[in-house]
Amino acid sequence: MATDSRPLVRYGLMSPEGEDMSSNFSDGQLAQLAASLEAADWTPNDVTLLGQAGRDRLIGIRDLLRRGVDIVAAIIEGRTELWLHDSQRVGWVGGRTILAHLTDTGLLVSCADLAELEAIRAKGIVFFRQHFAGNLIFGWRGVQGDSVPYLLEFDDEVVLNWRWLGYNFWLADNPALRRK
Delimit the domains of the chain by residue range: 1-42, 71-179
Cα torsion 114, 180, 175, 96: sign:
negative
pLDDT per residue over 48-105, tens digit each? Answer: 888 888 777 776 676 666 555 589 999 999 999 999 999 999 999 999 999 999 999 9
C-alpha to C-alpha distances, 61 to 44, 48, 65, 77, 179, nearest whole angstrom: 19, 15, 6, 22, 15
Query: To the nearest whole percent, how much of the chain has pLDDT over 70?
Result: 82
Look at residue 66 in the predicted model and tell me its pLDDT: 59
pTM of the full structure: 0.65
Q: Does 142 score more than 70 pLDDT?
A: yes
The secondary structure of residue 40, as a DSSP letter, is T
58-62, 122-126, 134-138: least confident range: 58-62
Look at residue 11 in the predicted model and tell me its pLDDT: 45
Write the DSSP string, 91-127: S-B-HHHHHHHHHHTT-GGGB--HHHHHHHHHH-HHH
Determine phi and psi for 44, rounding to 5 degrees.
-55, -35
35-49, 87-101, 114-128: least confident range: 35-49
Residue 33 confidence class, pLDDT cut points 50, 70, 90: confident
Q: Does 39 score more than 90 pLDDT?
A: no
3-state secondary structure of 155: coil
Summary mean pLDDT of the chain: 86
Look at residue 49 in the predicted model and tell me its pLDDT: 86
CB 149, CB 114: distance < 8 Å: yes
Higher pLDDT, 1 or 20: 20
User: What CA–CA distance (Å, rounded) separates 43 from 38?
Assistant: 7
Taking residues 153-171, what's their average pLDDT? 94
* One-letter amino acid for residue 69 of the chain: V
Question: Looking at the chain, which runs of residues are DSSP E strands?
Answer: 8-9, 12-14, 20-22, 80-83, 137-138, 147-154, 157-164, 176-179
User: What CA–CA distance (Å, rounded) separates 144 from 92?
Assistant: 22
